[in-house]
Amino acid sequence: MNRLSLTARLSLMFMLAVAAVLSVAALSFNRLSQHHFEMLDRQILVEKLESARAILADPTGTTSFEQLHVLLGAHRDLSAILLAADGHQLFAEPPAVSIPQQFAGYPESALWQWRSQTQRYRGITAQLAAPGRSGPVTLMLALDVTHHLSFFETLQRWFWIGLAGSALVSAGLGWVVARSGLRPLRQVTQLATSVSVESLKGRIPLTSVPLELQQLVISFNAMLGRLDEAFVRLSSFSADIAHELRTPLSSLMTHTEVILSRKRDVDAYEENLHSNLEDLKRMARMIDDMLFLAKADNGLIIPEQQHIALEAVVAKLFEYYQLLAEDRGVELKLAGHGSIRGDLLMLHRAISNLLSNALRYTPAGATILVTISEAAGTTHLSVENPGQGIPADHLERLFDRFYRADPARQEGNRSNAGLGLAITRSIVAAHQGSICCSSVDGRTVFHMQFPQSGQPRATEWARPA
């Protein structure tokens, strides 16, 4: 079943709204007008009734009927019948008028309506005292209101014709207005239809967009920006993978071709196999890291929930890196304490990546400072080291995969594939935390922030083995 378009729906709603407003206005006007004419008719009938009452109250009663004839004959739309107590007719004006006897019993306060062929009447009935009569007489006054009611019928007929015409015109205007107002939506649709990898730079201008649709257009443009950025990163990522895997694969192929070029002794084959094994291990580590990042991107990394003392994790890592630090003349220093809930092995790997990175760039004789603190429901860990600063334009991309601040890229470097900081960010995100880097005046600091454990410091905390 085909559904109406949004333009058709808005046009239909606009037409129905106009028709409803016109109907309410017309019906209200019609009812008020009818009420106004009814009140005028009642006023005329009541005035004639009071005049007739005064005439019939004349004690002599000699000229009552003549006076009634003069009174009622002056109003050509007014008819009257006077009935005695026994029901026989005493007076009629005009003489040929005939009002049904059923209206003789109506109360004086009620108006009644009567239709005679094409004529319609509105009347009133009253019981009057007449001197010289055995009982009260009944006076029925009827006012010809045919022209009133014909006017209202004609008015209603033209109202329905005008309502139908107004509905059609409003539907057309509504279609024009809706189509004009929905033009930005068509632009969004056309742009979305034409979106491809080559056309992600296109944007919808906001100059002619209505206020109600500006947020939609802004969101759509922002989505295109994110897609454009994601495609750029994906392209860069593919190129980075090719760069990183090309060197070990070329090394493997070269060594193998050299060895196979002629017969060699067992020691030569064994040396080549050891060299190939080193490259294969590096490629395996890179693949494992990529699988870890892929799981993290899809929310498949679910850390264990243990109470972990971060100062114990850092102390254990200091023991591991102590010999390397001494060889480079670097001092390792820890200050503060704090705890979080998380996965011990993941946190161990994240902090290890930061320490390894700091040792790589810290000059001899300097100190690497790890600071842990707790405040406002969060636990903060920072790794600070002196050395060559990182330009500000590199800080935002520092946690991208395979990204290095060094423009030379150090392609194929065996000790650094450019995935450590990306893995660290994924681990921190899996623990509902955040990480950032600042580099000012030759001091680089990595800041990690986690939700605080909220548990008292006790011996049940998981500590490194």
Q: How far apart are CA 426 and CA 232, in angstroms?
A: 20
Q: Which residue has the higher pLDDT, 458 or 91?
A: 91
Hey, which of 57-66, 121-130, 291-300, 391-400 has the most confident mean pLDDT? 121-130
Q: C-alpha distances in angstroms, 411 versus 355, 402, 408, 418?
A: 22, 10, 8, 10
CATH of 211-297, one of 3.40.50.2000, 1.10.3720.10, 2.60.120.10, 1.10.287.130: 1.10.287.130
112-116 and 119-128 beta bridge pairing: antiparallel
Mean pLDDT, rounded, for 322-335? 91
Contact 104, 125 (CB under 8 A): yes
List every span in the chain annotated with CATH 3.30.450: 6-166
Task: Considering the domain delimited by 306-451, tell me its CATH architecture.
Answer: 2-Layer Sandwich (3.30)
Q: With the CA atoms of 246, 250, 252 and 254 taken in that order, what torsion angle do they form, in degrees rounded to the nearest 10?
A: 180
The answer to whether residue 284 scores a pLDDT higher than 60 is yes
Mean pLDDT, all residues of the chain: 79
Count of Cβ atoms closer than 10 Å to residue 392 Cβ: 10
Strand intervals (E) in 365-459? 367-375, 378-386, 434-440, 443-451
Residue 447 clears pLDDT 90, i.e. is over it: yes
Query: Which residues of the chain form CATH 1.10.287.130?
Result: 211-297
Each residue's pLDDT tens digit, 121-163: 888 888 887 776 677 888 888 888 888 788 888 888 888 898 8
pLDDT over 70 at 102, yes or no: yes
Q: Coil, strand or helix: which one is 462? A: strand
Which pLDDT score, from 0 to 100, does residue 412 have? 40
Label residue 399 by pLDDT band (50, 70, 90): confident
Q: Hey, what are 119's tokens?
A: 């004529």
In terms of average pLDDT, the best of 12-21, 97-106, 396-405 is 12-21
CATH tag for 6-166 (out of 1.10.287, 1.10.150, 3.30.450, 3.40.50): 3.30.450
**Residue 455 predicted with pLDDT over 50:** no
Of 196, 198, 216, nearest in space to 206 by CA: 216
Residue ranges matching CATH 3.30.565.10 in the chain: 306-451
Least confident of 20-34, 142-156, 279-293: 279-293
In this prediction, residues 162-181 reach a mean pLDDT of 85
Greatest CA separation found in the chain? 162
Structure tokens at 54: 């005064």
pLDDT level of residue 1 (50, 70, 90 thresholds)? very low
| pLDDT at 458 > cutoff 60 | no
Would you say residue 411 has pLDDT above 50?
A: no
Percent of the chain with pLDDT over 90: 10
Mean pLDDT of 444-456: 78
> Would you place residue 107 in the very low, low, confident or very high pLDDT band (cuts 50, 70, 90)?
confident
pLDDT digits (tens, 9 = 90+) for 222-247: 888 888 877 777 776 677 667 667 77
Express each pLDDT in 253-270 by its tens digit: 887 888 888 888 888 878
pLDDT at 408: 43
Digit-coded pLDDT (tens) for 302-312: 677 888 899 99
Total count of residues recorded for the chain: 465
pLDDT at site 201: 74
pLDDT of residue 465 exceeding 60, the answer is no
Distance CA 80, CA 121 (A): 12
DSSP string spanning 39-89?
HHHHHHHHHHHHHHHHHHT-SS-SSHHHHHHHHHHT-TTEEEEEE-TTS-E
Which is more confidently placed, 188 or 461?
188
Give me the mean pLDDT over the 408-437 stretch. 72
Taking residues 429-454, what's their average pLDDT? 86
- pLDDT, residue 461, reads 36
130, 136 in Cβ contact below 8 A?
A: yes
Write down the pLDDT at residue 90. Answer: 81
pLDDT at residue 57, rounded to an integer: 76
pLDDT at position 78 is 84
CA 205 to chain centre: 21
Q: Residue range 363-373: average pLDDT?
A: 92
